[in-house]
Chains A and B, each alone.
Chain A
Amino acid sequence: MVRDSVTRDRVETLLRSVPGRFGSVLHSERVAARLGLWLGISFTVAFATGLFSHFMQHPPGRLAWPSRPVGLYRITQGLHVIGGLATIPLLLAKLWTVYPKLWQWPPFRSLSHAVERGLVLVLVGASLFQSITGLLNISYVYLWPFSFPAAHYWTAYLLYGALIIHVVNEWAKVRRQLWTREQVEPREVVTARRRFLGTVAAASGLTVLFTVGETYAPLSGLALLAPREPHTGPQGLPVNKSAAAAGVTTVIHDPGYRLTVTGAVRTPLSLTYDDLLRLPQHTVRLPIACVEGWSAEAEWSGIRLRDLAALAGIAPDAVLTVESLERGGGYRSSEVRPPHWNDQLTLLALRIGGAPLAPDHGFPVRLIAPNRPGVLQTKWVSKVVAA
């Protein structure tokens, strides 16, 4: 009995000593506060731009996003993905800094301490989940059974909720560490901290430098570690879903092809490819801005969607649905709300850079509109329905 309790005391002492055995002065409140501040800012940007992307794809009720500025979605989603990648070094550094706390003993001092640690677990798990599955997703490595957007969307709420609670709990420490000047610290501690934070910032900065060219073309030569090159693809433009993957390689060349305009119209239309070519053609420069963060600009020519709507006698406040020849798939049709289809930049495009669309870019006809995610720029269009 006595022997037992002695052993237990020894184990207890050993366990309590674990957090103190991490020698580096960088496992400090000050470093954690600094990295925490940076992470808080970048998670806020990620949450805001992510929600923007979600509600652009799933607008609640009659909400109609503006069609300008032309490049808004390109910028917000670029910030989301490139900024998200740049967050990974901050996250790993922060978790390393606070790692000794993982081994605190006793693990739970009280019920509220247990709840607090449970929520920290949610925060850590959600942060790793968002950034690592996000990285895999933009690398086209789908090693999971769930739908990435759905899992990523709901996990974002977990992350941000747990983050708010964590910030509330730690705010006093952050204030003490970052906004209270009179601290006496040994020189080496200050130097070590500056070096460490500088290293982490460098890793973050290089992450941006080597990837941002996938959306900011002037830096495309430096995009050594980006999953896309904005000039690579048929007609010098990247492709997300090929005609083969969509199963439309034959049907798009069917001589019986018609573009029909139906629904709430005065005059239903049924137009051949040649009919479309005979309508007034317009040329615009617009980016394709993918949900995965890359974007590429091209010169599109075709007919204005609003001209077609006028021809069919569609009311200016109607909602249009553009449908593809593709049989299934989540993106076979997309809704175009009034601000977008009334915009003169919104085309049913027939050409890129003067040449007919390549099959992978949506031959015979595709939608191209400003300020809109690429998944909603429907390809292989055969039908416009007004409601």
Chain B
Amino acid sequence: MKNGVNAPRLLGYGLGGALVVTGFAGLVVDAHLTDPLGWALWFGGLIVAHDGVLVPLVLLTGVAVGRMRSPSPVRAGLTVAAMLSLLALPMVTGLGRRADNPSLLPLDYGRNLLVVLGLVALGTALAAIAVRLRARRRRG
């Protein structure tokens, strides 16, 4: 496409293109398993949810945090907290629990997430204090 055409580039496009075609063909050939319409709704839905909802929320939060006095530790703490919450969310909802199998999702995920978020908050608070102390020492 750009920067001229050379052998490695063509090889990359060939290989990549072949894999993409294989993927789409497989989704269609196995339609009884992949349910192309349902697949497309998830594929597109996740893009829309990410680009249209998640990132705008993150950007707004970022603007708010940027107005704080020492934003860096808060920014880092919120980022880590949000990502671990996303990881835990499906388990916290307990949607996957089944009465016949208590070995599946055996923990109290709501409590565990609170413990994890508490640790992240503690780390963030300590980092914020350290930042302030260092700033004061530099000034004083």
Give CA–CA (A24, B12) in the complex, Å.
33
Smallest CB gap from A157: residue in B: B23
User: Complex formed: what's the CA distance from A224 to B108 in Å?
Assistant: 9
Residue among A24, A119, A199 making CB contact with B20, cutoff 8 Å: A119
Q: Give Cα A227 to B107, complex, Å.
A: 8
CB distance from A17 to the nearest CB of B (A): 16
CB neighbors of B among A150-181 (8 A): 150-151, 153-165, 167-169, 172
Q: Is the CB of A89 within 8 A of B83?
A: yes
Contact at A141–B86, with CB atoms within 8 Å?
Answer: no
Q: How far is the CB of A163 from chain B (nearest CB, A)?
A: 7
> Contact between B23 and A172 (Cβ–Cβ < 8 Å)?
no
The CA-CA distance from A72 to B103 in the complex, in Å, is 24
Minimum CB–CB distance for A221 against chain B, Å: 11
Asked whether, in the complex, the Cβ of A144 is within 8 Å of the Cβ of B38, the reply is yes
- Choose among B9, B27, B83, B101 the residue that contacts A239 (Cβ–Cβ < 8 A): B101
Say whether B87 contacts A207, CB under 8 Å.
yes
Q: Is there contact, CB below 8 Å, between B103 and A227?
A: no
Report the count of interface residues on A (CB-CB < 8 A). 82
Q: How many Å lie between the Cα of A172 and that of B1 in the bound state?
A: 13
The answer to whether A199 and B84 have CB atoms under 8 Å apart is no
Determine how close the nearest CB of chain B comes to the CB of A120; give it in whole angstroms. Answer: 11
Q: In the complex, A144 Cα to B37 Cα: how many Å?
A: 11
Q: Provide a sorted-by-A list of 13 A–B residue pairs whose CB atoms are within 8 angstroms.
A: A88-B87, A112-B2, A129-B43, A154-B22, A157-B20, A195-B72, A225-B88, A225-B91, A227-B91, A228-B103, A228-B106, A229-B107, A238-B104
By a beta-carbon cutoff of 8 Å, the part of chain B in contact with chain A is 1-3, 8-9, 12-13, 15-24, 26-27, 30, 33-35, 37-39, 42-44, 46-47, 50-51, 54-55, 58-59, 62, 72, 75-76, 79-80, 83-84, 86-88, 90-91, 93, 95-98, 100-107, 109, 112-113, 115-116
The 4 closest A-B pairs by CB, nearest first: A140-B96, A161-B19, A233-B103, A157-B23
